[in-house]
Amino acid sequence: MNYIHDLVSGMAEKRAVENANLFPTYSKWLDRRFADQWQTFNVSSDVADFGVVQWEQRPIDAVVVKTILHQKNRFIGRYEDKCYLFGFVADEEFSMLRESFAIDCSDAPDVNISGR
């Protein structure tokens, strides 16, 4: 969770971050927001789900993080919150982040990795 939070909050705060290409949909959304003069003033994240998935017949950890971005636009005098779900499969054996995704919470199906 901390890795995803640090990555997506860094992008939202226009800081240089490694693996910014991990979530291209989110990156494009941020670029449009920045062009429209939106500024991020807070980012909060929490684990939405976690568990083990099968990848090439190997059990691998997976996590889904729910992140809320709090933004403001000085020019139009408005605040807005945006919710995204971020996730990936952490393949530590091969040092890879697999199957990454970023989905607007309003477009997301119910997420359930752990089978709960």
Q: Which residues contact 109 (CB under 8 A, 6 or more apart)?
A: none
- 39 within domain boundaries: yes
Q: How many domains does the chain have?
A: 1
CATH of the domain at 66: 3.10.450
For 102, the enclosing helix (H) or strand (E) is strand 96-104
Alpha helices by DSSP H, the chain: 2-12, 24-35
Give the domain extent around 71. 2-107
State the Rg of the chain over Cα. Answer: 15
pLDDT of residue 116: 44
- 87 within domain boundaries: yes
Question: Up-side HSE of residue 88: CA atoms within 13 Å toward CB?
Answer: 17
Q: Per residue of the chain (116 residues), what is the pLDDT tens digit? A: 899 999 999 999 999 888 878 999 999 999 999 999 999 999 999 999 999 998 889 999 899 999 999 999 999 999 999 999 999 988 999 999 889 999 999 887 665 555 44
- 112 within domain boundaries: no
pLDDT of residue 113: 54
